Structure 1
Amino acid sequence: MTSPLTSQTVLSAEQLAQFDEQGYVIIKGALSRTEAEAYRQSILSMMPSNLELPPHWGSYEGRIKPMAGPDDQTFDTPELLPLMTNEKLYRAAGELLQSSALRVMDGSVGITIRNDSHRDQPLSQTLHLDASVPRTADDFTFTVQELQVGGCYYLTDVEPNGGGIHVVPGGHKIVEEECRAAGSGGRHLHQDWKQIEHLESVEITGEAGDFALLHHLMPHGASHNRNPTARVAYFVRWVREDQTWGAGAKPEPGRYDEAQLAAMGDLGRKLFGVEDW
């Protein structure tokens, strides 16, 4: 399949096969190391100098989740918004979603500092799905129109036991098999797939500037960081404009200000639904 933006493909045949079989792929060098460092510093500057975290931020066993506001995890400021309009990642997502008309979302941030507790447990949260399928639905459709792909930039080098995201190789296929075997109601297995305790996971390592790209039915979870370097990550997801459950809808008028619109560029204004494809 050719890229929806140019004739140049991003994913090799081997990477496409890995995504199909394993449910994830690493996009090397989505950012340069210089760019990754600049974004890392921008995110770390959110941390209060007195380390008094705002009450609406999340903090659990070394995982710090800054929040833009109460119940708002999206950091789409002009400084960070270009992370959501990365052309290389857009093209890769388009190849997997088989469409050039995509929407981008998420924009959340994760900082994982060293944590020496629970040495016998690699994960700091239970494996789960972040599926763009409402819990009111009884079943997944398993179509490309339903599919979302997404994951996180590593803005630091993430070595083994460094807080890398954990995945279950082939987990998206396991989820589909269990749902189909269950018949109607497969969406609600394992507490709506938020408590997946019967599968084994592996840690994804990578270099600053790499992007870990996952299938939306991939069981995954955060892990403890046992290393001195704080892991800094920024999360992005893509869906088709015609996504089955409406995730590709346009934003409300006036959602973005002039500074954000300028930072989006031509591609971003389409990805955010401000302009038509």
Structure 2
Amino acid sequence: MTSALSSPPVLTDEQLAEFDEQGFVIIKGALSAEDAESYRQSILSMMPPSLEIPAVWGSYDGRIKPMAGPGRQTFDTPDLLPLMTNDKLYGAASQLLGSTRLRVMDGSVGITIRNDAHTDRPLSQTLHLDASVPTSADDFTFDQQELQVGGCYYLTDVEAGGGGIHVVPGGHKIVEAEARAAGSGGRHLHQDWKQIEHLTSVEITGEAGDFALLHHLMPHGASHNRNSTARVAYFVRWVREDQTWGAGAKPAPNSYDDDQLAAMGDLGRKLFGVDDW
């Protein structure tokens, strides 16, 4: 397999600088429009025709979070699993993480339907971090080995007010500055960074097939969808195999069945920890 770092880079120097400064970058055309539509239909088919939302699913202000089972958010079925082994996104993540030896995770799904309530605020949840740093740690290390990058595919066109993910431009630097200034315990500010109420966010819009890629210290949150088109998104994260806090560890043996293994391909078998890098 050709190393992503020796292949033509996915992110330009300008995009790398944008990520460093802003804490996020939009990967245009991570999927073709045709593939995005196919995945969109696959995810929408999860919705019961009766609209009887299963008890284990989440449903919050128009945000529907399908669950694969109680406490299990990952949809790594053979039809959706290729979303986690996308060559272009793997290449971009490798550039940002400084390694080709990565692990992939998440695989959760979000469907945001039109919601006309709460017109006084754009967000349907408080800004927060999904940091790969355990709450048992008092501080972030802020080095590249700790970093994770991740975000979501837009499987529909997301126009302004369409339920796009909200971010704080430069927010990862604000988080670092506040955590460093706090000294020991910076990891625990703002209720472990799950209730960030003092920052202002902007909505990321995009086209079907685009991917919003965020730094793990980026404050972000879901927004209300005021448009008629349901936003459909699929979330993916990458970390280094040697990630500081162990997020890149191999899974337990026999975690995947034959159909999943067939859908992974050579790259996926390494990203999922089935084969060694």
Same fold (TM over 0.5): yes
The one-letter code of the counterpart of 2:105 is M
Counterpart of 1:56?
56
Distance 2:260 2:3 in 1: 26
- Tell me the equivalent position of 2:17: 17
State TM-score, norm by structure 1.
0.99
Cα deviation for residue 4 of structure 1 reads 2.3
Q: Equivalents in 1 of 2:6, 2:115: separation in Å?
A: 44
The alignment partner of 2:191 has SS state of: helix
Cα separation, 2, equivalents of 1:147 and 1:3:
20
* 1:244 CA drift (Å): 0.3
Deviations 1:126-160 (A, max 9, x none): 00000000000000000100000000000000000
The equivalent residue for 1:146 is 146
Structure 2 portions without partners, runs of 5+: none
Residues 1:103 and 2:103 aligned together: yes
**Cα separation, 2, equivalents of 1:260 and 1:155:** 22
Q: Give the Cα–Cα distance (whole angstroms) in 2 for the partners of residues 95 and 13 of structure 1.
A: 11
Structure 1: state its 5+ residue gaps. none
SS in 2 for 1:164: coil
Distance between the aligned counterparts of 1:122 and 1:108, measured in 2?
Answer: 22
TM-score (norm 2): 0.99
Question: How many angstroms does 1:207 deviate by?
Answer: 0.1
**Residue pair 1:62, 1:113 contacting (<8 A) in 2 also:** yes
- Secondary structure at the residue paired with 1:96? helix
Q: 1-side partners of 2:239 and 2:135: how far apart? A: 18
The code of the aligned residue for 1:91 comes to G
CA distance in 2, matches of 1:5, 1:83: 21
Other structure's SS at 1:267 match: helix
Report the CA distance between 1:5 and its aligned residue: 5.4
2:129–2:217 Cα contact (<8 Å) kept = yes
* Aligned match of 2:123: 123
Offset, 1:6: 4.3
Whether 2:127 is the aligned partner of 1:92: answer no
Tell me the equivalent position of 1:254.
254
8 Å CA contact 1:125–1:223 kept in 2: the answer is yes
1:3 Cα shift?
6.5
Aligned length: 276
Does the aligned pair in 1 maintain the 2:153–2:235 contact within 8 Å? yes
- Which 4+ runs in 1 deviate beyond 2 A? 2-7
Q: d(CA) in 1 for partners of 2:4 and 2:179?
A: 32
Deviations 1:176-224 (A, max 9, x none): 0000000000000000000000000000000000000000000000000
- 2:206 corresponds to which residue? 206
Distance 1:207 1:38 in 2: 15
Secondary structure of 1:110 counterpart? strand
Structure 1 counterpart of 2:62, which letter?
Answer: G
User: Post-superposition shift, 1:120?
Assistant: 1.2
CA distance in 2 between counterparts of 1:83 and 1:53 reads 25
* 1:106-255 mapped onto 2 (5 Å cutoff): 106-255=106-255
Q: Is 2:94 the partner of 1:67?
A: no
Q: What is the alpha-carbon root mean square deviation over aligned residues?
A: 0.9
Distance 2:51 2:273 in 1: 37
2:168–2:219: 8 Å Cα contact kept in structure 1?
yes
The C-alpha deviation readout for 1:220-241, integer Å capped at 9, x for no partner, is 0000000000000000000000
